[in-house]
Structure 1
């Protein structure tokens, strides 16, 4: 084997968001053909070694790596993603700093990539991550911890040792802005003020490009979780995990066929009654949430912004009321779509921000090679 084959160079762009960990990866020697995306559920849970031993004792498994992932760091073990939520009732940890869990989720993604690309236990990684603007001050800590922990951590395949070469960190929404910049004229970017609003599951953030200079305006915990939490309180026997997907699929029009699985009764009259209650809970909760969000956006979006780019999964859900609230200035997801061959999980606009970051990382790594 050549030296490059012995120590392959891998690229990873990662978003450890509150509604799921999304990442795009590729072997740097074949960036176009090997590029792929992956999604992991947002849950994570700390486990005793005995639970890991039991998992390892199960020799019959045909699960995909993203669905059977755990990692060990300094004698502490964590189940991540589907394994955490399906078997160990793991938490989304929305009340803690994203950086605290993002390190373990990044290590989990690294192991999944190892499996997907059929790599050995050692390789070199260029990584780009996104964080809420309110947590960007933690990026140095994130980088330090990720570099340290990646050098030696345990996985279902045994110990791994990964060297972090380049580390880049962006505020959420920056990737979408980079994609918009790539398809827009220089005059648009250099002569206008453009607001970029990232609406995720936990956070809502506003960035502003002032004639091409991107600046962070504000970030708050006004993501879709605020509405889901209210729906749980207003409805009967519902949980956040069950509601998220159903509410998203039901859309702003609240199509009841996507909610029927949430009702546990087989009695037709009772089912209709519970569906009415749930529909009312969704309608009232999201309206309350949108009023809070719009009040905040009215304060944070500069009046001189000629264009407002809304991005993120929550922005797509709120497309109808946002278009009414901000007519004429409204553009969703920068007018960009994720390449269908890369979006194998059907994440759509939720993958777009990290795709923009991945594209930047790919170009950045290429420039670094040329500059040597």
Structure 2
């Protein structure tokens, strides 16, 4: 998902809000957009009906791309290349939701996998140019990018934790480990000096194993039952995935899914463990662990780092639940927002300091 924490500054005091959109993105023709507009009924929320015109090209973003144009996320694409269009869609959606002017000032902070973080300057220049002249659902926007911050994934968590540690941070060995849907990444701080790495060994690595060893399954439908089954896959978790109409075949399908999930989980943990041993080596005073997949392997991670202090999502999960009134176990949504929320607080503080100094 595209996950956003935002705050609209206005004369009337208001609180930060969250917004999330499906990750899909697809270039479409002008005629396709015109046909969609001529046939639609009702007035969907802007984040669910997001289309952008940039230059002479049209793009459907999020739920609209998925539902009406059959877009499918390509997990091999670079995040930063799609980030520009997704930011345009998000800014447009927020502006429409809150009846904002088409000429806006924007302070923006983003997270990228460590392996793509080197492209942050290209991303900043591309964003500033695109934001200055684009259309969202036919409305022309001119947005000035006043502040831009880009950190590696896990940056929001480490910024939060470093604030608590103060001057001690630069005398410690600290690692941030992020386990996500697409990537696994780490940033290691040794006496304040950072290094990092990332690879495409997110949860999809395991889901692809299951998909390739079973019949008729897809990654999207596998996510929830696999996640809910945890370390003990059982038939009850996979009943909804059975395709056959004959009961005896359904039982076989479910049994196969349970077996393959348990096997794939072990293989995936071995892959993660080996990756960690290579990329987080040596003595660490503290391990900060985050990402939507981290709870899925919480027992294994606790055992692996048994001699090291662990900070789970920099203790931000409850803050997110309280700030946005989220159900504690709503699809681990709060956990998935912790890194972004930590970065948001950092950006908010930066903007506040700049405003007061100005």
Structure 1 position 342 matched with structure 2 position 328: no
**How is 1:203-352 mapped onto 2 (pairs within 5 angstroms)?**
203-211=183-191, 213=192, 215-329=194-308, 330-337=310-317, 338-342=320-324, 344=326, 346=330, 347-352=333-338
Unmatched runs of 5 consecutive residues or more in structure 1:
1-19
What per-residue deviation string (whole Å, max 9, x for no partner) do you get for residues 182-238 of structure 1?
A: 4x3436534321111011112111112234x25132221211111111111011100
Deviation >4 Å, runs of 4+: 343-346
Work out the CA distance in 2 between the residues paired with 1:33 and 1:43: 30
When residues 343 and 293 of structure 1 are mapped into structure 2, their CA distance, relative to the original with a 3 A threshold, is: farther
In the superposition, the TM-score normalised over structure 2's length comes to: 0.92
1:117 is matched with: 98
Structure 1 position 168 matched with structure 2 position 154: no
1:129 is matched with: 110
In the superposition, the TM-score normalised over structure 1's length comes to: 0.88
Work out the CA distance in 2 between the residues paired with 1:320 and 1:159: 50
What per-residue deviation string (whole Å, max 9, x for no partner) do you get for residues 217-273 of structure 1?
A: 222121111111111101110011221233223333225434222222343322221
SS at 2:284 equivalent: coil
**How is 1:51-200 mapped onto 2 (pairs within 5 angstroms)?**
51-182=32-163, 184-186=164-166, 188-200=168-180
Work out the CA distance in 1 between the residues paired with 2:130 and 2:147: 15
When residues 48 and 73 of structure 1 are mapped into structure 2, their CA distance, relative to the original with a 3 A threshold, is: same
When residues 341 and 185 of structure 1 are mapped into structure 2, their CA distance, relative to the original with a 3 A threshold, is: closer
Unmatched runs of 5 consecutive residues or more in structure 2:
none
Aligned residues: 351
Are 2:179 and 2:292, in contact at CA under 8 Å, matched by a contact in 1?
yes
What per-residue deviation string (whole Å, max 9, x for no partner) do you get for residues 96-149 of structure 1?
A: 211111111111111111122221222111101111111112111111111111
1:44 is matched with: 25
Point out which structure has higher relative CO (alpha carbons under 8 A, 6+ apart). 1
Q: After the TM superposition, which of the residue ranges 151-160 and 223-232 deviates more from structure 2? A: 151-160
When residues 340 and 258 of structure 1 are mapped into structure 2, their CA distance, relative to the original with a 3 A threshold, is: farther
When residues 128 and 80 of structure 1 are mapped into structure 2, their CA distance, relative to the original with a 3 A threshold, is: same
Are 2:23 and 2:62, in contact at CA under 8 Å, matched by a contact in 1?
yes
What's the CA shift for 1:310?
1.1
